[in-house]
Structure 1
Amino acid sequence: MTDERNNDILPVKISGVTGPVTGWLDGHTILLGLFADPIRHSVSPTMHNNAFAKLGLNGAYLCFEIGPDRIGDAVSALRTLDMRGANVSMPNKQAIIPYLDKLDPAAEICGAVNTVVNEHGLLTGYTTDGTGWLRSLKEDGQDVKGKVMTLAGAGGAAIPIAVAAAMGGAREIRIFNIHDRNWEPAKEKVAAINEATSCVCSLNPMEDKEAFKQSIAESAIYCDATGVGMPPLDDMSLVEDPSWLHEDMVVSDTVYEPRETKLMRIARQAGVKHVYNGLGMVVGQGAEAFKLWTGQEMPVEYIKEIVAKA
């Protein structure tokens, strides 16, 4: 990693520690990490360590290959070492919850956590996946407030997006999913969204293609939060024809590799003005976690450039 800092001594205030930045690693370095398995492919260390460097913050972000069988030990270590916090990815997003002290409202509805903040032993679980997605739209001048949205998928990416959109003021969210293992849990999440927000949320069978097509036509936002579009399904799209879409809507794919999915190509053929891949969501969720830990905004455009090359 290249040191992008200037030669000034910058103040650091993270987790109650205030002092000069004197080097990458010293007696004041604040430790954060990621608990997941597998983990070595993650771009999170690239994001956070470059953000620390750019802002002159004395922090270090490391990967720890941890599965559910050891997540309790990992949380104990987080407390013992007074780490500022950690990100959590599969397969630990649900498994970590019993070891935390409290959850923020969105994480409670989702029943999943991807970010932990440690306030000197008090551990709070958050989900920043959905707020990261919302943030990526807002950075381009788009919003969900008062809008009708069709959401494909009911798994680990889809539910946080639905929760964030509902809390962000979406008028209606129509979730479409096949009858797989996510169907019954999604029914509970939809009920929780309807109880906690003013948004009207529904779960619908993806097998009903006509209803899916009609819903997209009536929506201001279509988001695909499934794995369709990434290898080995990179030649597929749930939207089968440009005629399903209209030019004034937002089309968002949570897949970021490849950078342009088949859905995105179909959307551009339809003349859709606002088409996004999942890179903005990836950086957005990292930026939301970064702010929870440091109180500062991640230099998002700078980090996007770095992640795009990673």
Structure 2
Amino acid sequence: MTERIDGHTLLIGLMAYPIRHSMSPTMHNNAFAKLGLNYAYLAFEVGNDKLGDAVNAIRTLDMRGSNISMPNKQKVIQYLDKLSPAAKLNNAVNTIVNDNGVLTGYTTDGTGFMKSLEDEGLNILGKKMVLSGAGGAGTPIAIQAALDGVKEISLFNRDDPSWENAERNVKIINEETKCKATLYHLEDQEVFKRELSDCAIYCDATGVGMKPLEDLSLVNDPSWFHKDMIVYDTVYSPRETKLMKIAKSAGVEHVFNGLGMMLEQGAEAFKLWTDKDMPIDYIRELIFSDDDKK
């Protein structure tokens, strides 16, 4: 790293809270080094309260851009100049590109999620998905899955301030795609169990399972799962969440954390900043074999 940084190095950030667990700096800095690109990627622990100042710093410091993660993916929109069509449809941003002071927001989470399943040789098109969460991760996952051809989505969300966004997601999916989306209260456990019983994939797109909620899971009974389904937790720190452990105890064959999604969404962001393809096979081997990053 010290050999690469000089007076011409361009900074790219990651703004989220919490964020010290992130694998993104490892992924991007190694990709920059592999391709000989003069960029540096740093993580900044920024929540909603400091987000406006942090985004303004992108302009002030002439940063090339930044990734955005929870809890900032929707709140950040108000501080940007433009949105890509996908970000506008999703009402969420996970990538900012700075072009001479003009900040454009993009979302790469949805395509990253779908591509990560493709990487595993799995196809959920024409099938039923159960999804929990309608925030900055759940929204692009739901909408991209519907656009790509998932037949049915049962969306579960708590009756909290994000419920309105969940209603919006279902409305957009039903009006703009061929997918049928239905919204349910996460508190209704009997309905949750019923919808899981015949789905092809269950995806938890909430923060449950990561610090400080690492000892929790939205599903605690292994009998709710069936072995032929996919269980996907968008959390990747810890590498194995409580949800994943429960799914494995139920004999579910395809159980994943969010590393694959992180890798693929990161590759798309990398392209937006550098106009270069990330050396994805090299990075995949690097981050998937790094068992020290828990």
**Is 1:61 the counterpart of 2:41 in the alignment?**
yes
Instruction: State the TM-score, normalizing by the size of structure 1.
Output: 0.81
The 5 Å alignment of 1:1-20 reads none
- Whether contact under 8 Å (1:178, 1:206) holds in the other structure is yes
Per-residue deviation at 1:53?
1.1
State how far apart, in whole Å, the 2-side matches of 1:210 and 1:187 are: 21
Q: Are 1:279 and 2:259 matched, yes or no?
A: yes
Matched, 1:157 2:118: no
Partner of 1:141: 121
CA contact (8 A) 2:271 2:277 kept: yes
Give the structure 1 partner of residue 273 of structure 2. 293
Residue deviations 1:85-143 (CA, integer Å, cap 9, x gap): 21123443333323323212332133221101233444321122232222221211123
TM-score, length-normalised on structure 2? 0.85
The structure whose Rg is larger is 1
Bigger Cα displacement from structure 2, 87-96 vs 214-223: 87-96
Distance 1:230 1:27, change over 3 A: closer
One of 167, 174, 177 as aligned partner of 2:147:
167
1:32-58 Cα offsets, whole Å, 9 max, x none, are 222345554443222211111122222
Residue equivalent to 1:192: 172
Give SS of 2:136's match.
Answer: coil
> Whole-Å Cα distance in 1 between the matches of residues 237 and 42 of structure 2?
23
Q: Distance in 2 between matches of 1:152 and 1:76?
A: 33
Gaps of 5+ in 1: 4-22
2:46, 2:54 within 8 Å by CA — same for their partners in 1? yes
SS of residue in 2 equivalent to 1:198: coil
Counterpart code for 1:141: G
- Report what 1:216 is aligned to: 196
Equivalence for 1:17: none
Is the 8 Å Cα contact of residues 132 and 281 (structure 1) preserved in structure 2? yes
Aligned to 1:88, which of 68, 92, 107?
A: 68
Say which SS state the counterpart of residue 290 (structure 1) adopts: helix
Aligned residues: 290
The alpha-carbon distance between structure 1 residues 56 and 143, as it changes in their structure 2 partners (threshold 3 A), is: farther
> 3-state DSSP class of the match of 2:165?
helix
Match in the other structure for 1:116: 96
Pair 1:155–1:94, CA change in 2 (3 A): closer
Q: What is the distance in 1 between the residues matched to 2:279 and 2:155? A: 31
Give 1:205's match in structure 2, choosing from 167, 181, 185.
Answer: 185
Q: For each residue in 1:252-308, what CA deviation from the matched residue of structure 2 results, as whole angstroms up to 9, or x when unmatched? A: 112223322232223223322211012222333322211222231342313424764
Partner SS state of residue 309, structure 1: coil
Alpha-carbon distance in structure 2 between the residues aligned to 1:32 and 1:231: 25
* Closer, same or farther: CA 69–260 of 1 in aligned 2, 3 Å: closer
Residue 12 of structure 1 corresponds to which residue in structure 2? Answer: none
1:132 partnered with 2:96: no
Q: 1:116 to 1:298 in 2, by over 3 A?
A: farther
Aligned equivalents of 1:281, 1:297: Cα separation in 2: 14
Q: Which amino acid aligns with 1:160?
A: P
1:15 aligned residue: none
Q: Does 1:243 align with 2:223?
A: yes
Query: Which digits, 9 at most, give the CA deviation of each residue in 1:54-94, with x for residues without a partner?
Result: 22222111234555565445444434554322112344333
Query: Which residue in the other structure is 2:246 paired with?
Result: 266
Contact 2:267-2:277 within 8 A present in 1 as well: no
Q: Identity of paired residues, percent?
A: 61
Residues 149 and 39 (structure 1), Cα distance of their counterparts in 2 relative to 1, 3 Å cut: closer
The worse-fitting range, judged by mean Cα deviation, of 115-124 and 212-221 is 115-124
8 Å Cα contact 1:247-1:270 kept in structure 2: yes
Matched, 1:183 2:166: no
Structure 1: how far apart are the matches of 2:30 and 2:286?
7
Q: CA–CA distance in 1 between the matches of 2:66 and 2:238?
A: 27
- Report the 3-state secondary structure (helix = DSSP H, G, I; strand = E; otherwise coil) of the residue aligned with 1:96: helix
Moved more, 48-57 or 93-102: 93-102
Indicate conservation of the 8 Å contact 2:263/2:284, yes or no: no
1:29 equivalent in alignment to 2:12? no
